[in-house]
A and B are shown apart, each in its own frame.
Chain A
Amino acid sequence: MSFSKKSGGKALELLHDLPRITLANLRPEPGAKKLGKRRGRGQHGGNRSGRGHKGERQRGNRPRLGFEGGQTPFYLAIPKYGFNEGHSRRPQYQPLTLRRLQYLIDLGRVDPTQPVDLTQLVNARGVTIQPLKRDYGVQLVDEGADIFAAKINIEVQRASEGAIAAIERNGGIITTSFYDPISLGILIKPVPFFMRGQPIPKRMLPGENMVPYYTCAENRGYLADPDEVQQARLALAQKYGYVLPDISKDELYHMLATRKDVRQIFFGLSPGWVVNMPEKKILKPTDEKLLKYYNS
């Protein structure tokens, strides 16, 4: 082999003949530690100390930022318009490209033989969701639709038409569902939630402005009619020009058809249950009122 078999290689062989590395021998890389500016010292930093010559500049009496000497400043002359009004309250969705999804599946970080959920994506470190920054989930973007070739049952919060087409072309199922911010926080970090010892809450239904989105079959919303969804699948296949594969004959049909209940946050766990992680037990409510509340 031409290259050395050891990862340290030549450098470690050189070290063998050099003096011992001690506390006295350590020094940072040349250029790593750049000293900061010191005003008022020496020929170049001293004299006027970088303040200029006389006037408001040197004396520190300049007017406020944006002041234009009395002329109506730019930021007041332009009339207001609500471009960014309520921008901090708008729901945001972290984009997930099909290319990245294919990458995660190829590397084995996301298991396509199980339903793919936001928890699975976050566990695989495919996306980073910050529910406190008004993130309401993940949206599927159709960059990489031409190289996407995986049959998965995926659940996201928004999806573009091209992404839906790409997933269904490969025989997968895509659903868009809504998670309110508290459920989202629990969904992406289940372990800290279980450590709290609280019962799993019900997932809230979407607000008025989002209900049309999630009841629409074109968006594969979880509140839409399944028959309409099937029709929409056929229509999309016609539009994009591919043959819709028949999923019911697939061996993984049972897995592909699993869907969460409207009020459910985790697969296999119902609202109202308490998960005890150290003892590996699940506690379910028995009181009538609690059962009635959690099953509503």
Chain B
Amino acid sequence: MLRLSVLVLGRGVAKRFCSSFSSENTLPPNLLLPSNLIDPDRLKRPPPPADCSLPLLRRCDAAVPAHLSPLLTWVDSLERKDGEPLGLAQLHPDVFSVPPRLDILHDVEIWQKNYKRISHANTKVRSEVRGGGRKPWNQKGSGRARHGSIRSPIWKGGGVSHGPRGPTSYYYMLPMKVRVQGLKVSLSSKLAQDYLHIVDSLNVPTPDSQYLLELIRDRHWGASVLMVDVCEEFPANILQATASLKTVNIIPAIGLNVHSILKHEAVVLTVETVRFLEEKLLWHDQRYTPLYPFRLPYSDLP
């Protein structure tokens, strides 16, 4: 409820912010706007209508279930700054339109953060602290409290009873299908919230980062963009353009992960990436459980 009201107010604020940079209504420069503010200019591009005249550049390779229909999206180009879409593309509903399981997204994100973690925090136990083998004074007669060693946890400078013990690993693996579903959910939610853009290829005319920034700003893609392509070597132009930019990043398709998708505001996929992702992600829906690791040759898989 509160979030919706913030959103409504936010949209009004954004209208005032974006529509006029004139002197009368400028907002103070140190105003902190919420990062999940919806820019109304973003909402101006509706999904392609059924009777669109642009060519269908990509059909779904895999079979679409009978009760679902493939999704249609615009295919843009990075060659020119003016945002005229080149054509349409079909997206498989079982990858780009799965139910938005936010709990799976949370699980996969926390796993990605923690499975690599090795905490090196280590404290010494009373037996490891230097000294403390001898009884400090007699049990009886001295008038002081009884003690057995000067390094017991009660003493200053003594060992820690229940502290962190040596390098601990936080490694755990989520089931493969959960991680796959996490990717599908993140892609579907990006598409549903209009943050997913399909591009025919990542060929840019100039290696100028300014060109990319202006293109992103004109098309209202968002503050940060993640570009994904399936190839071992990217075109030199785009590599140079994104090398110096912090908010625009480029990764190969095998490096696609939930954390990067959620961290960047917009995700740009090429048509080959879509084909690659659909092929890899849909395979898990129909496979058998592994008898032996998948890297060994299988002859019985469908």
Chain A residues with CB under 8 Å of chain B are 5-9, 11-13, 15-29, 32, 122-125, 188-189, 191-192, 195, 277
Contacts and interface: CB of A to CB of B under 8 A. Distances in A.
Contacts of A18: 3, 7, 193
A26 B109 contact: yes
A177 B173 CA distance: 40
B289 A125 contact: yes
Given A8-B100, A27-B106, A125-B289, A20 B265 contact: yes
A192 B296 contact: yes
B286 to A, nearest CB: 12
Given A6-B71, A22-B35, 12 more contacts: A5-B67, A6-B68, A9-B99, A12-B99, A18-B193, A21-B102, A21-B186, A26-B262, A28-B103, A32-B103, A123-B291, A189-B292
Given A5-B67, A6-B93, A28-B106, A22 B192 contact: no
A21 B36 CA distance: 8
Given A8-B97, A189-B291, A19 B109 contact: no
A195 B292 CA distance: 12
A251 B232 CA distance: 54
Contacts of A125: 288-289, 291
A21 B189 contact: yes
Interface in B78-128: 93-94, 97-100, 102-103, 105-107, 109
Interface residues of B, number: 41
Contacts of B98: 7-8
A252 B112 CA distance: 55
A5 B68 contact: yes
Contact of A122 (B105, B107, B291, B299): B291
Interface string B279-293: 000000000110110
Given A5-B68, A7-B94, A9-B99, A191 B106 contact: no
Nearest to A8: B97
A15 B68 contact: no
Nearest to A5: B69
B234 interface: no
B252 to A, nearest CB: 22
B190 to A, nearest CB: 8
Interface string B211-230: 00000000000000000000
Contacts of A6: 68-69, 71, 93, 97
Contacts of A11: 99-100
Given A7-B94, A191-B297, A15 B288 contact: no
A26 B192 contact: no
A191 B296 contact: yes
A28 B111 CA distance: 12
Contact of B106 (A26, A122, A189): A26
A24 B263 CA distance: 9
Nearest to B107: A28
Contacts of B103: 28-29, 32
B181 interface: no
**Most interface-central of A25, A32, A124 (chain B CB within 10 A):** A25
B223 to A, nearest CB: 10
B36 A15 contact: no
A15 to B, nearest CB: 4
B188 interface: yes
Contacts of A26: 102, 105-106, 109, 262
A16 B68 contact: no
Contacts of A28: 103, 106-107
A8 B188 contact: yes
Nearest to A21: B189
A8 B99 contact: yes
14 contacts: A5-B68, A7-B94, A8-B99, A12-B192, A13-B192, A20-B36, A21-B105, A21-B186, A22-B36, A23-B263, A25-B102, A26-B105, A125-B291, A195-B296
